[in-house]
Structure 1
């Protein structure tokens, strides 16, 4: 019985192979139309491919959307960073514009001065000595020496007290260190009277000039300059204007309160006066 079934199974397989070969040979022949069997087979294969490709295409679209979302997020982060940087960029542009304007003013001022000047920038200023001193970026290699006067575009600001190779330490005239033996000239109605700086009044932010002869009555608005009579300061550097006049305690001379033209709180670019006019003529 088993041999009978095995023999029939073999016959069925051989028959199937013969039919398949016949169909292949028949499909390879030149014909204008397809048979029902070929149509059924082609349609079945097409449906099967569509059914198989549909989930893969769906999954592929999901991955494409996910990748596109990550790309969009990354691009949004970059745009956000650029937007966050805009205020800083605007601030930098404004600062550079102010620095350029300051440098242009500095060049104009230095070219109009009667002294040989060395332009310098403030690089260091201690908060606890804000009204006392600062450091500039020029030193001995640039020709700076101790005792040279330092001015802003508005007027005198201090004196060089220490010099290094590439930097210098400046004492402001608001400190006692730079006021010693500093003589000034007050001009009133074309007449010059002299005095010397006693101290800096921190409450009123003004220099106090004493020993001014009382024969000439000073007035508010009179201009004050360096006299060049004592100390290392050359003559004719503007310091400020008189804002108050009073007699001394004995009534023998006058004291003048002088508001400096230079802003002690805002010092950025300065000029070191290298030589006085007399040395330039030599």
Structure 2
């Protein structure tokens, strides 16, 4: 404590000595004497400036660090609050959708999206914070509301990888007839690594319309895993039909923005 009290006194003393030396040097005309005095006073001035700067920094450092810490804590709380708001909104929307049934799904937070660069690429996979310990298994469907996002393709104890429908996975799909006189068209949906899918292997005799909803046909297994039927894949935005071809095909636009999702739901039974 006594050492800290002597620092200001020492600083003041050095300032006075420096001022006296400067004053003394200015009263002599001799050039050589001024040079000698400058050489003597420069180290003192340097030490004096360093000491004053150190004293000022020490007095300001504690308050500044406290302010930075408070700001960081506030930012962390705001981020956590925003995360809770988004999770609660996703839960509400999912329960309002009613399908898949709420008791057959669990929520999961997205913690990564391999190879996704905003503005340059499109999400084709998600990493979630749930794994085998939570009941997640390979082949489980993952949804947001009634919309299919993808399928669990890899799983460990605490995390899992979701291959999105925007990637290269293939799904058996069908159209939803808009009128009772229409029949559903069946085919295979494949992702293209962007925000549109290809709906192909559709018979020429099947009727397609722009705006028709495309859903999963369903590939559920006996144990309850697999793909449920009637999950929304997207809507038809264009049709490619040639009489010389064996099949027709269409472009399908997903109804959900994959890049904006932070919480999804995995079907576990």
Cα deviations across residues 33-62 of structure 1 (Å, max 9, x unaligned)?
Answer: xxxxxxxxxxxxxxxxxxxxxxxxxxxxxx
Cα deviations across residues 54-80 of structure 1 (Å, max 9, x unaligned)?
Answer: xxxxxxxxxxxxxxxxxxx99x97997
Q: Which has the higher helix share?
A: 1
Question: Does the residue aligned with 1:165 lie in a helix, a strand or coil?
Answer: coil
The one of 137, 140, 143 equivalent to 1:151 is 143
- In the other structure, the counterpart of 1:183 is 172
TM-score norm. by structure 1 comes to: 0.59
Structure 2 Cα separation of the partners of residues 145 and 91 of structure 1 = 30
The one of 212, 215, 232 equivalent to 2:205 is 215
Rg larger in 1 or in 2?
A: 1
Structure 2 Cα separation of the partners of residues 208 and 128 of structure 1 = 21
Question: Does the residue aligned with 1:100 lie in a helix, a strand or coil?
Answer: helix
- In the other structure, the counterpart of 2:50 is none
The 1:249/1:141 distance shift into structure 2, 3 A limit, reads farther
TM-score norm. by structure 2 comes to: 0.61
Structure 1 Cα separation of the partners of residues 158 and 64 of structure 2 = 44
Structure 1 Cα separation of the partners of residues 243 and 123 of structure 2 = 29
Cα deviations across residues 152-207 of structure 1 (Å, max 9, x unaligned)?
Answer: 1251111111111111111112222x22xx210112324211011244263xx210
Structure 2 Cα separation of the partners of residues 189 and 219 of structure 1 = 10
Structure 2 Cα separation of the partners of residues 82 and 136 of structure 1 = 30
Deviation at 1:101, TM superposition (A): 2.3
Asked if the contact 2:165–2:191 (Cα under 8 Å) also holds between the matched residues in 1, the reply is no
Deviation at 1:119, TM superposition (A): 1.6
- In the other structure, the counterpart of 1:106 is 94
Structure 1 Cα separation of the partners of residues 67 and 135 of structure 2 = 50
- In the other structure, the counterpart of 1:225 is 215
Asked if the contact 2:99–2:145 (Cα under 8 Å) also holds between the matched residues in 1, the reply is no
Deviation at 1:84, TM superposition (A): 6.2
The one of 181, 186, 193 equivalent to 2:185 is 193
Structure 2 Cα separation of the partners of residues 101 and 249 of structure 1 = 47
The 1:249/1:161 distance shift into structure 2, 3 A limit, reads farther
Structure 1 Cα separation of the partners of residues 258 and 219 of structure 2 = 25
- In the other structure, the counterpart of 1:261 is 255
- In the other structure, the counterpart of 1:122 is 110
Equivalences, count: 200
The 1:81/1:96 distance shift into structure 2, 3 A limit, reads same
Q: Does 1:169 align with 2:161?
A: yes
- Structure 2, unmatched stretches of 5+, are 1-59
Question: Does the residue aligned with 2:85 lie in a helix, a strand or coil?
Answer: helix
Deviation at 1:214, TM superposition (A): 2.4
Deviation at 1:258, TM superposition (A): 0.7
Structure 2 Cα separation of the partners of residues 169 and 201 of structure 1 = 16
Structure 2 Cα separation of the partners of residues 175 and 119 of structure 1 = 22
Question: Does the residue aligned with 2:261 lie in a helix, a strand or coil?
Answer: coil
